[in-house]
Structures are given as C-alpha cells and as structure tokens.
Structure 1
Amino acid sequence: MRSVLAVGAHPDDIELGCGGTLAAHRAAGDAVTMLVVTGGQNGPGVTAGRRREAEAAARALDCLLIWGSLVDCEVSPDAATIALIERAVAETEADVVYVHAPDDSHQDHRAVAAATISAARHGRRILHYRSPSTTRFEPSLFVDISAHLNRKIDALSCHRSQVENSAMVDPEVVAASARHFGAQARVRYAEAFVPARFVWDLAAPPSLPDLVEVPAFAAVSRAAA
C-alpha cells in the first residue's frame, strides 16, 4: 500500500488536477490525503461554504482532507509554507506527492508548487498536475482514469460555488480534458502529469514455487480423456 499526498492551493484545485488519479489510488487500496493550503477566501462563494464543499468532495473520493492556514492570493514559497507542507509529508509518510505545475498564471499555484518541491525534497515520486490556469504543460506520465472519471466529476460537483461560476469546472470540459489526455496515452480517459522526480521501483517479484513434475502417465491419461 502506498501513501499519497495531493497538495492544492485552493478548494477544488486537487479534484480538477488529479481527482481521477486519487480515486484510482483508493481503488488500489492506497491511503490518500488532500492538503488544501488556503480556504479560497478570494474565490466565488464564502469561506465556510467552500470548506463544506471541499469536505464533501473529499468524502466522495474517500480521501482524508487537511487544511492549511494560509490566505488565498497571499501564498509565498517561504519557510512557513514549506514547513506547512513538510509537516503533511512527514505525517502521511507520503510515497507519492501530487502538486500544481510550476508554470501557472496564478501566483498561489506557483508558490505552492515551489514550496512543495522543497518540502518533498527527499521524496522519490513528485508529480505536477495541470490546472486551468497552467501556462506550459508537457506531460510524459499518464494515469488511466477510465474507470474513475465519473467519481472525479462527482467530487467536482460538490464544489457548487465553483461549478456555477467557472466554465473550467463544467463536467463537459472536465471530460473533454480527460479524453484529450486519454488519446495521448492511448486509453479512453486519462490524467496527465509532469514528473519533478519519479523513481520506478522494479523490485523482483516473489519467487514462484518449484514446479512439480507431472508423471508421464498422467499426461497420457488426460490426453486420452
């Protein structure tokens, strides 16, 4: 079982970027934690309402949700932000970390991406996901979410304040994006990632038990039957 940490600057960032992948992790039995760094104070909707939306979305994905204490549009990649994310990495013992792509027009996304790279500097798998505001994104790693797209959309639908005010959270747009990346990955639907670091552990599989030699007469007997 792996321990997965997904980091996002605002409520709904994680679901948009890698919600299907988190659903796939849970289906595989992995432990998944979502760290939302700010309360989304400057987006559509009131902060308390956005917290309730995010909590409902986490339940839809069957993930643990933890909150940072930073303010929307005021995030910096400073020691405090790094320490916040570093604590989450340590507490979850994360094997895999997902975070925003660094090339993004939203300053909070850029800051969280930079801080996470520092906080997870000893990690072996750090993957950047795409946001609607990402400016440059050249993925080379894909996760097949064909069996999990509906769950991603269900989680996003919990963010009603965003769905009603942003075309980027429209289910048709989300599905179209997954189909686009799926075509690149040669599957039906996919989410795409740019690895900051990805170590593939090719440990030897468990040894097979010694084969028992079947007596010749048994083989003849089966053939005759």
Structure 2
Amino acid sequence: MKLDILVLSAHPDDAELGCGGTIAKHVSLGHKVGLVDFTRGELGTRGTPETRAVEAANAAKILGVKVRENLGLKDGFFRNDSDHQLKVIQVIRKFKPDVVLCNAIYDRHVDHGKGASLAYDACFLSGLVKIETTDEQGKKQDAWRPKVVYHYIQSQLIEPDFIVDISGYWDTKIEAIKAFKTQFFDPNSEEPETYISSPAFLKMVESRALEFGHALGVKHGEGYTTRRYLGVDNLFDLV
C-alpha cells in the first residue's frame, strides 16, 4: 500500500501528541496516512506493552489512518545504526510515502531525538539503490526516498519553521491522545504519577496548540521544524 504521509515515532502516543491534528486533517482531505511506532513503550512507568498496543490501535481508529505497525525496537536503547536503519528503510520502501513526519530533533525524552535522527537518516538511505532490502515475502524492494521529512514539536519548546492550522481537528486529536488511558491523567488510577499523567500536561499541550494557532490567527496549530528550505508555489499558499 502506498501512503501519502508516513508518521515515524519512537513510542506509541508520540504521533498523537505531536501531530494528531495534522494527521486527522489530512485524512479528512483524502490523503492516505499510516503510523509506524519504533518501540512498544515497554519502559513506560504506567501500563504495559500489551495495554499500549490496544490503546495504539484505538487511537489509530480515531484518527482514521490506513495502517499502524510497530517495529518492536528496544525502548530506551534503540540506536541510529545500520541494523536499525535497515528496519526503518524496509517500512519506508514498503509504504513509499511522499511526506514523512517524525519526532522532534531534540526533546526531554532521549528516544525522541534518537528517533528523529534514525527516521531522517533512514529516509535518505532508503533512496540509495545499492542498499538492498526485502519485504515480508522475501521480495527485493525498490529504492524510495520521501520528498520531505518534517519534525513535529514535542514537550521541549522549539521554535517552529512552519505551523499547520488544525482548527476543527483539536477534538479528534484530544480523543486520540486520551485513547492511551494508562498514560494520561486518570483520577481513578492507582499507578504512580508521571510527567505526562499530571493534569497540567494536557493543559500544556493545548496551550502550545493555542499559541501556535494564535500566531496564524486561527484557533489551534501544530508546529514543525525542517532541515531544508521551504518553498511555496505562490504567496496565496500562505495562511
């Protein structure tokens, strides 16, 4: 299946938090979007890999994506090396996305910056014909390089290079985030409180979206950074 947009994330719930509104908006516009999580989030204080898998599937249904897969890399300890790059190259060549969205270039969680570098490097390497990979059936894959790679912004305050207007998709984003019931605020939970399970965390997520939206003169926005120059076809493409 060829996708228009592929979201590569270190953990289940990264995509929902960082670009859930963008995903929902582009799905509504008719684009084919898929998610690939690198790890099962097994080092998370709350929940289990099994509960995270169920939550990730529920969130994917809310967002309306075509596919969600998990590479099963080691949470906290995956690396940006050739073995890991080849695993990511396989999914890039499998889905042939034009656009890749991935983790923030740096963030509070060490996996996010690593995930950003792993995704970015794999996107480049995936276009090299002399790197050979095979699909699940053992068939040789064709080289494929996405047209662009963008990094969504997470908990660390990073100045965006551009902002996507997600007004009208905020409720979908929040519903997808809250599908991860074990991870976020639940007054009835007996598990230890974490950085993301406090009531203040989701307020921070919304305040960030409101701030980015305000910069555009709209209700909510999601910010991105890019490692290349941005171009527009004409000035009326700009919000």
State the TM-score bracket (shorter-chain normalisation). 0.7 to 0.9
Matched with 1:67 is 70
Structure 2 match to 1:192: 223
**Residue 156 of structure 1 corresponds to which residue in structure 2?**
177
Runs of 4+ in structure 1 off by over 6 angstroms are none
The residue that corresponds to 1:21 in the other structure is 22
Counterpart of 2:210, as a letter, is: R
C-alpha distance in structure 2 between counterparts of 1:80 and 1:201, whole Å: 37
Deviations 1:97-150 (A, max 9, x none): 111122223221121111111111243211111112x3x512021111001000
Alignment of 1:27-106 (within 5 A): 27-43=28-44, 44-63=46-65, 64-106=67-109
Identity of aligned residues (%): 30
CA distance in 2, matches of 1:197, 1:169: 34
Moved more, 179-188 or 57-66: 179-188
Greater helix proportion? 1
TM-score normalised over the length of structure 2: 0.78
Name the counterpart of 1:145. Answer: 166
Higher-Rg structure is 1
d(CA) in 1 for partners of 2:202 and 2:116?
26
Q: Is the 8 A contact 1:21 1:143 kept in 2?
A: yes
3-state SS of 1:113 partner? helix
CA 1:169/1:125 → structure 2, altered by over 3 Å: closer, same or farther?
farther
Point out where structure 1 has 5 or more consecutive residues left out of the alignment: 204-225
Aligned to 1:219: none
Instruction: Return the TM-score normalized by structure 1.
Output: 0.83
The letter for the 1-side match of 2:120 is: I
Alpha-carbon distance in structure 1 between the residues aligned to 2:147 and 2:229: 6
Matched pairs, number: 201
Residue identity opposite 1:3 in structure 2: D
Q: Using the alignment, how far apart are the partners of 2:199 and 2:72 within structure 1?
A: 26
Q: 1:197 to 1:85 in 2, by over 3 A?
A: farther
CA RMSD of superposed structures (Å): 2.1
Give the Cα–Cα distance (whole angstroms) in 1 for the partners of residues 38 and 150 of structure 2. 17
Structure 2: gaps spanning 5 or more residues: 125-144, 186-192, 235-239
